[in-house]
Structure 1
Amino acid sequence: MSDFNTLELITDSRGFATLWLSREAKNNAFNAEMIRELIIALDQVQGDPSLRFLVLRGRGKHFSAGADLAWMQQSAELDYHTNLDDARELAELMYNLAKLKIPTLAVVQGAAYGGALGLISCCDMAIGADDAQFCLSEVRIGLAPAVISPFVVQAIGERAARRYALTAERFGGQRAREIGLLAESYPIDALDQQVEQWVANLLQNSPAAMRASKDLLREVGNGALTPALRRYCENAIARIRVSAEGQEGLRAFLQKRPPSWQPQEPRS
């Protein structure tokens, strides 16, 4: 794993990685260096076949305060084409996270503003603290949530996205759960314990089946029925039934034993 200035990528021996935003003194705000390092870190995660899933977190009090003020000031002094290059870099990050082959879980505490909502929306699942604060704050400073908007709409729906992008209202963890940005919200002092429960649950599942299910759901999209989608789904189940993990899972179920990928209980 590479050394990073703005991140920490930590691999757990149980078979997953945690990617920490680690600019705590800047409330984990984005700058060009962090965006580039996130792209590199996701490439490393994508290339590691031992990883079952990825957890995305922020060090310190806040998940991420959005864009770094100094970086935004620099951007304001750049011409259109240089700003376009910056936007393409941010888009590469968001699309790479959304298309990661393994499941992704964001864990949110404190502030999650602007582009931070993009990161959360790109993850397959997100949980957070009840008192977390979310905001699509771009219009307050004369900007728009352009690059992140497709992912935010997918996460919370078009109507809610219009409201929060146009008003820049802040909303909390419970509201984030209501509109679908978070799967669950918890008291802040219970958040780490809940993360462990989510991790333990994901570790029960076949790594190959989770990857296959993620590919399947991406292909299914909004569920519009077409002959091509029917054929894809038929082939998907046939392929996984004859795969090594599919065969192991079926045998384990019939033999009433845990499959090989599940953590083994220590013997007394």
Structure 2
Amino acid sequence: MKYETLTVACAEHVATVTLNRPDVRNAFNETMIADLGAAFTALGARDDVRAIVLAANGKAFCAGADLNWMRKMAGYSDDENHADALRLAQMLSAIYRCPKPVIARVHGDAYAGGMGLVCAADIVVAADTVHFCLSEARLGLMPATIAPYVIRALGEQASRRYFVTAEAFDCATALRLGLVSEAVSADELDVTVQRLAQALCANSPNAVRECKQLVQDVAGVTIDDTLIDDTALRIARIRASEEGRDGVSSFLEKRTPLWRV
């Protein structure tokens, strides 16, 4: 598929989705929202893709909402505003719920909705010079559609602060808070992303998919008999799966599993 606001490339089982509106700091509008949703849905369904890297061209990773798009929203009715916001929320969900693991390669600043893209990813590798900001309150708005992902990534207490102060914070702070998985120099960014992508591709595709879903389903859930039984059912099911059986057999027989490429 071809996209107006993105480039998509696949090599060695890794797909790279690159935001490509550098002239507006990769701010998103209706077209980019639609492109991202379609791209992650399509890549998530491809058997030859085992990991996805979300990257960007230009100086910034993503500056949030495009100004022209925001001007257009000012004239929307309540129903039009709701429909518009829902499309953004569904796009973020497509990234978060993509069955393939997503690595955010953050080379430049991520503000407002750009934070949502970062927080929807599974692994975040950022250049140590980048800054993050939840700037919505400065404009009389709130980061509602990105909140489920930001709160999970930052934690409740940090979100309470940065939602209401709209302060920018640096990569070191993002690393300390757990938003960033690895902070590296700009020169090390691609090497680090490649290393992580290769690690993902070395594992069972089915196990990776099930592990991602496991975290989403179990995080924050009360540990009761229902959850205990659910986790037992999950491990029983994956033990009996084709890749589960081959993985255990290959380990015992000291051979390479069939999925290894």
Q: Which bin holds the TM-score, normalised by the shorter protein?
A: over 0.9
Superposed displacement of residue 92, structure 1: 0.7
Residue pairs, 1:131-150, within 5 angstroms: 131-150=129-148
**Offset from partner CA, 1:148-175 (integer Å, 9 cap, x none):** 1111111111110111111111111111
Which 5+ residue runs of structure 2 have no aligned equivalent?
Answer: none
Deviations 1:91-131 (A, max 9, x none): 11111211111211111011100001111111111110100
User: 2:5–2:19: 8 Å Cα contact kept in structure 1?
Assistant: yes
Identity level (%):
39
* 3-state SS in 2 of match to 1:185: strand
Q: Which residue of 2 aligns with 1:20?
A: 18
* Amino acid of the structure 2 residue aligned with 1:176: A
Moved beyond 2 Å, runs of 4+: 260-263
Structure 1 residue aligned with 2:163: 165
Q: Which letter maps to 2:5?
A: T
Secondary structure in structure 2 of the residue aligned to 1:5 = coil
User: Matches of 1:204 and 1:43 in 2, distance apart?
Assistant: 23
Q: CA RMSD in A?
A: 1.2
Secondary structure at the residue paired with 1:94? helix
Query: Counterpart in 2 of 1:92?
Result: 90
Partners of 2:221 and 2:89 in 1: CA distance? 25
Match of 1:247 in 2: 245
Q: How many residues of Structure 1 are paired with residues of Structure 2 in the alignment?
A: 261
**2: CA distance between counterparts of 1:215 and 1:71?**
34
The Cα shift of 1:223 comes to: 4.6
- Between stretches 184-193 and 215-224, larger displacement belongs to 215-224
Unaligned 5+ runs, structure 1: 264-268
> Normalization by structure 2: what TM-score?
0.96
Tell me if the contact between 2:103 and 2:193 (Cα under 8 Å) persists in the aligned partners: no
Give the whole-Å Cα distance in 1 for the aligned partners of 2:75 and 2:256. 59
Match of 2:4 in 1: 5
